A and B are shown apart, each in its own frame.
Chain A
């Protein structure tokens, strides 16, 4: 089908098969490989992106479902020279090791903070429940999200 999608601010007119997943559109078609695939049952969260401002698992949506929508991926929130506050916080707090879960964690965390009026550690842990990390034991991720919340100083996105 023909579809229009805005990704990280750039608009694309694409002809995609009906069964193409959003994550494949991003990774394979647009070569935005920062969004990762860690599972085949929608349970790891490595593929998390924002669709119209909400965190979604891009492996569990067809590309067609994002027709007319606006997607932000990890590549769209900051650059090496100008990191998003949440990216900065993950670095500050050593909230990543192998980095594979990291883009999904950060996209989820930004949404989590944006949608709350002040999270404590427990709320962060509950909020990250859909994202698996095998490296960090979550300890530093939780601290990073709290720090990111502080740096974001409210709604920053």
Chain B
């Protein structure tokens, strides 16, 4: 590890001091002058027609200021919430979008769907008012089970069925032929459990409208303030883009759930305009459970064909993806382009075909949650490979090794539309095997057996596509926006630096790592560099943070901006040194030509006080850049889990977990390790305990921390994490992204380990003690 504050140093985070002392400013910590409070009216039914809404009693209550319903927002011309990614079915037809008004107008389609807003002088008044609103609902039959949704009653009026799309990717004929000719075919039915993201900070929003100027401001828990502004202006038409500012103050975790353009933020802003006073809404945790977009929820059948030597010849995957009641902002892309394209994994499988049937159900919309499609893909590939190894009596590590793409194969084009630029998969595998002491496993298994426990080991050799995304490619596949990132570097007259980035930090530590990058590049002291993010009023544009893209795309934009700074600085320095700019070098913050030198601070000062200055050059030293990635980045690695299963109770103890990841170059190892730890915990949660469950009536059975089991400190071991490095070949930092890997590899590794302990039983997630006990024959 390098010392200091440059690239590669574990610099302690500068954002910590405010968080540690209670001085962080999260949305709910803010108050606005004249602020009122909003409480949403939410559907108690999974599917019902909305009849008369009688708000007279509520409005008569002291302190209740207004009640707005879907009729009001519709009458005001508020647009529907759009889905930002158009996915086409196999037959070329567009996906079927059910209109999603921000407040339901005629019909509610999931429990918790907002259909009205009560505004009060105080939160208590708004709450009491909400209880007094009488709504006539006519209940309709809900469709809850995704497996039968396609053949069930159509939940949305005006649509032909509950099928959103029937999407496919790859060569089906060739895949079928290869499977028919395979020496061995492994088949599995798999499910990927519905998860509820649960950032510990609940979503919150404050809408502000100033009548005199017509300016709107939205303070909100968002991972992408500019995208929120764009959608609210262009599609929902709450306010024109230039009259709307979106601010994301400190945000307490996101994991995807704060990417999306939700009804609540939209309505709070719109209603603030109607009322002429600021309105604040902060979710109760039960609202987070009911109405934050959920994750995963797949049912899959997969077949893997192998030849006589154990080489993979074909993989065929058929998935039903639960979309929920509506298409959320990126809900269409997650079970298609972010999933099917990853099914090659780390292997040279020559034939792959995947089809995804997206279906509407009367449940909360499903969208990206940490990993978004890639954990689902990894789960399929790695469960299949592990099961094939067991069926063939092969060592699971060695079967993987046999099939891995080798360093000399890069760039490697997969049969499912991606071109991997670089990697060394065996290097991570070998390091993980060593750290996990794989050689000693059989001895440990015997020890456990002697103590009456079954021990199992499981692998996941995952790959992910991060640094989302090359705009042209994404748009050609249906994305509604470009996926570049912007950055601006302003060298101030005194030589300090203000950096503006469109990436957003909600725990990732950008204020530290981005300062390291700029400090390293420009040779300016770390402490002189300030990173500003999260405010559409302060930086030009941004696409925000998700898909492990901040450093690879947002960091690269800063490098491009810094290169422009250096180029301009050379011109200024050349003038000072009475030479031409191609005779000027820049290193460690100093411009030089022959024995003449000028620091970047001196050059900056000269640019702002241009007394003796190049004739044709603009004053000032401030540069902007947009960086559009040329390809995805492809982090990959090997995760190895070891579990002990109690035969009596079915309880699973995650005894050890080793993760060796290749994230390319690393800016701050301490922060990278932390990102991996967090992802692993979420993956362990998925594998062992978390499950968002609806009953047959569409009521959420897991609507609080009492019944949605989140990993706690005593559920997890210390993790062993390490890295190998192959530098990304197409971005200037050589970085790949590390935010999601933990959540991508770990569910498969843990379930493979439990399956190993259960002699190959295909245990479903979450592998609760009840599930495992039943698998062991308990009744």
Contact = CB atoms under 8 A, between A and B. Distances in A.
B253 A142 contact: no
Contacts of B250: 98-99
A103 B705 CA distance: 20
Nearest to A104: B200
A89 B516 CA distance: 22
Nearest to A32: B22
Contact of A125 (B682, B714, B742): B714
Nearest to B685: A134
Contacts of B198: 134
Interface stretch (A38-46, A50-58, A63-71, A149-157): A38-46
Given A96-B16, A97-B678, A134-B198, A74 B21 contact: yes
Contacts of A103: 22
Interface string A63-105: 0000000000111001110010001001110101111111100
Interface stretch (B317-325, B504-512, B565-573): B504-512
A125 B713 contact: yes
A18 interface: no
B255 to A, nearest CB: 7
Contact of A79 (B15, B21, B199, B677): B21
Given A39-B705, A40-B286, A136-B678, A87 B712 contact: no
Contacts of B674: 94, 97, 135-136, 140
Given A129-B714, A134-B253, A92 B26 contact: no
Specify which of A34, A44, A100 lies most central, judged by the most chain B CB atoms within 10 Å of its CB.
A100
A133 B681 CA distance: 10
B741 to A, nearest CB: 12
A38 B712 contact: no
Contacts of A41: 285, 704-706
A135 B253 contact: yes
Interface string B1-35: 00000000000110111111111111011000000
A87 B13 CA distance: 13
Contacts of A74: 20-22
Contact of A91 (B13, B286, B706): B13
A19 B14 CA distance: 39
Contacts of B262: none
Contacts of B16: 90-91, 96, 99
Nearest to B718: A139
Given A75-B22, A142-B718, A38 B681 contact: no
A101 B678 contact: no
A113 interface: no
B713 A124 contact: yes
Contacts of B671: 94
A138 interface: yes
A137 B719 contact: yes
Contact of A96 (B19, B26, B251, B705): B19
B201 A36 contact: yes
Contacts of A7: none
A49 B209 CA distance: 36
B713 A97 contact: no
Contacts of B713: 124-126, 128-129, 131, 133, 138, 141-142
Interface in A103-143: 103, 106, 121, 124-126, 128-129, 131-142
A129 B199 contact: no
Given A44-B705, A98-B506, A37 B678 contact: no
A36 B22 CA distance: 9
Contact of A137 (B15, B200, B680): B680
B202 interface: yes
Contact of B253 (A80, A94, A98, A125): A98
B714 A90 contact: no
B21 A75 contact: yes
A6 to B, nearest CB: 17
Contacts of B28: 33, 37
Contact of B199 (A37, A43, A134): A134
Among A27, A40, A124, max chain B CB count under 10 A is at A40
B671 to A, nearest CB: 7
A39 B21 contact: no
B704 A87 contact: no
In this complex, the member of B13, B18, B674, B711 whose beta carbon has the largest number of chain A beta carbons within 10 angstroms is: B674
Interface in B672-701: 673-675, 677-682
Given A91-B12, A100-B253, A137-B678, A80 B200 contact: no
B429 to A, nearest CB: 23
Which of B13, B252, B706 has the largest number of chain A CB atoms within 10 A?
B252
B20 A87 contact: yes
A98 B719 contact: no
Contact of B200 (A40, A101, A125): A101
A34 B24 contact: yes
B95 interface: no
A34 to B, nearest CB: 2
A125 B677 CA distance: 15
Nearest to A80: B17
Contacts of A83: 17, 20-21
Nearest to B21: A80
A31 B758 CA distance: 54
Contacts of A32: 22
Interface string B725-742: 000000000000000001
B21 A100 contact: no
B774 interface: no
9 contacts: A33-B28, A96-B19, A98-B199, A99-B252, A126-B713, A132-B712, A134-B199, A135-B674, A137-B678
Sort A-B residue pairs by CB-CB distance and give the 6 closest, nearest first: A34-B22, A99-B19, A100-B252, A137-B681, A98-B507, A137-B677
